[in-house]
Amino acid sequence: MFSIKEDRSKFPTKKADGTLDIDLDSQKYVKIWQGPNHPGITGNMALELTVSGDEVVQSKTHVGYLYRAFEKLMERRKFIQCFPICIRMCVPEPDINEYLLAASVEELGGIEVPEMAEWLRTLVLEMARVTILLRGVPGQGGTMSLGMGVQWGVYVRDLMLDRFEELTGGRVYHMYIAPGGVRGLLPSGFKDRMEEVLKKVDEFVVDIDNLMFNNAVFKVRTKGVGIIDKDWIDQYSVVGPNARAAGIMRDVRKDYPYLKYDQLDFEPHTETDSDIYARSRVRWHDLQTSVDLIRQIMAKMPEKGEIRAKTPNVLHWKIPKGETYQRIESSRGEYGFYMVTDGSAYPRRINLRGPSYNSAMVLLEKMLVNANISDVSSLMVSLATCPPEIER
């Protein structure tokens, strides 16, 4: 093994106002851009990097390359018309937005969801978590040229998308969760076909363990790199796997149980090192937890039952005046909707609270300072941002 001692003599000093004294004309620094062509797996955002040699001295995150203004679009549409919009606030995991919008409408409208529908919603949400983790877990290795794992993940994810298509009619956007419940029961033989997919995921988990976590190069590139200090957890509202990798247990499914999670047996995984390796390991365990949860759900849920509460005509549905905040545990941590209604057929205000803003706009900019340029993509992917959350 070898080590390189960083030369800090060329690093910028701070001005009186606290900003860095970076003079590009001095030829000590070079400004380069990473993105916005889908850097890593985080979507269309760009990093404006100022480097000294191969070390980053300043980083700024730039968004604005995506469709946006989802919140304002929804505030000008009837409640049922908001569903095709909200799902695009996180494309790889759209079902979380379906649930939050439906749960907000139900809370303010006084709608009680049937038990069968709650089981089906829980199932769909865990299926969605599996699909995004099948991209995210091997994607971490993809930043270090371990592209084989990415291809494995694409294949197994397609098998899960087959089950989504069978259940909802759609592969990426499903709009299966609707106000009052869901749109349909499980097709005949669905559980058997799902079990076949879960066995493939089990095989994938073992293969990724060998490819990434037992790989000496991956360990050297990730252990001790990109550490999130425990003092930052509350300061920057770090949630989900990023917090659990630092040994802080945060999972909405446990802290604020919703749907049927209080009837399921699971314990979210934690690590202590809070580096890239620890965050990757937490998500690898999350994938296994979701597979186990899907098996539990299919074993415990009833075979039949009411799947939709009676609701008014959705095109003329006026929700009583009020406000609510609904939260869910996304693959990235707490993800919530704040909705305000004024008694009309349109939402007065909808605001999304996603973890990606803190990860990409605050943590990433702070953590990239003094990082080697070869670690930029790896560190960025380890925070698991979803740019549409930021450009909402």
325-351: pLDDT as tens digits: 999 999 999 999 999 999 999 999 999
- Three-state SS for 176? coil
Q: What is the arithmetic mean of pLDDT over 348-372?
A: 88
Helices (H), 344-386: 356-357, 364-367, 376-382
Q: Nearest 5°: phi and psi at 60?
A: -130, 130
Contact 175, 168 (CB under 8 A): yes
Judge: domain 70-353, CATH 3.40.50.2000.
no
Contact 387, 44 (CB under 8 A): yes
- Three-state SS for 340? strand
Name the DSSP letter for residue 351: E
Q: How far apart are CA 218 and CA 211, in angstroms?
A: 9
Q: What is the arithmetic mean of pLDDT over 104-114?
A: 94
241-251: pLDDT as tens digits: 999 999 999 99
- Work out the pLDDT band at 370, boundaries 50, 70, 90: confident
Other CB atoms closer than 10 Å to residue 371's CB: what's the count? Answer: 20
The residue count for the chain: 392
pLDDT at 256: 94
pLDDT at 101: 94
Which residues contact residue 332 at a Cβ distance below 8 angstroms, ignoring those fewer than 6 apart?
239, 240, 241, 242, 354, 355, 356, 359, 384, 385, 386
Report yes or no on whether pTM surpasses 0.75: yes
H helix and E strand count, the chain: 15, 8
pLDDT at 29: 80
Q: How far apart are CA 296 and CA 236, in angstroms?
A: 34
b/e 246-264 (16+ beta carbons within 10 angstroms → b): bebebbbbeeeebbbbeeb
Q: Is the pLDDT of residue 207 over 90?
A: yes
Q: Which residue has the tokens 């759609």?
A: 170
Lowest mean per-residue pLDDT among 36-45, 223-232, 241-250: 36-45
- Work out the pLDDT band at 2, boundaries 50, 70, 90: very low
pLDDT at 1: 46
Helices 115-142 and 95-109 meet at what angle, rounded to 10?
150
Instruction: Return the domain boundaries, the chain.
Output: 8-62, 70-353
269-318: pLDDT as tens digits: 999 999 999 999 999 999 999 999 999 999 999 988 999 999 988 888 99
* DSSP of 212-234: IIT-HHHHHHHTTSS---HHHHH
Q: What is the arithmetic mean of pLDDT over 360-381?
A: 88
Q: How far apart are CA 102 and CA 194, in angstroms?
A: 25
b/e 23-60 (16+ beta carbons within 10 angstroms → b): eeeeeebeeeebbbeebbbbbbbbbebbbbeebbbbbe
- 160 CB-side CA count, 13 A: 32
CB-based burial of residue 303 (10 Å sphere; 0-12 exposed, 13-18 middle, 19+ buried)?
Answer: exposed
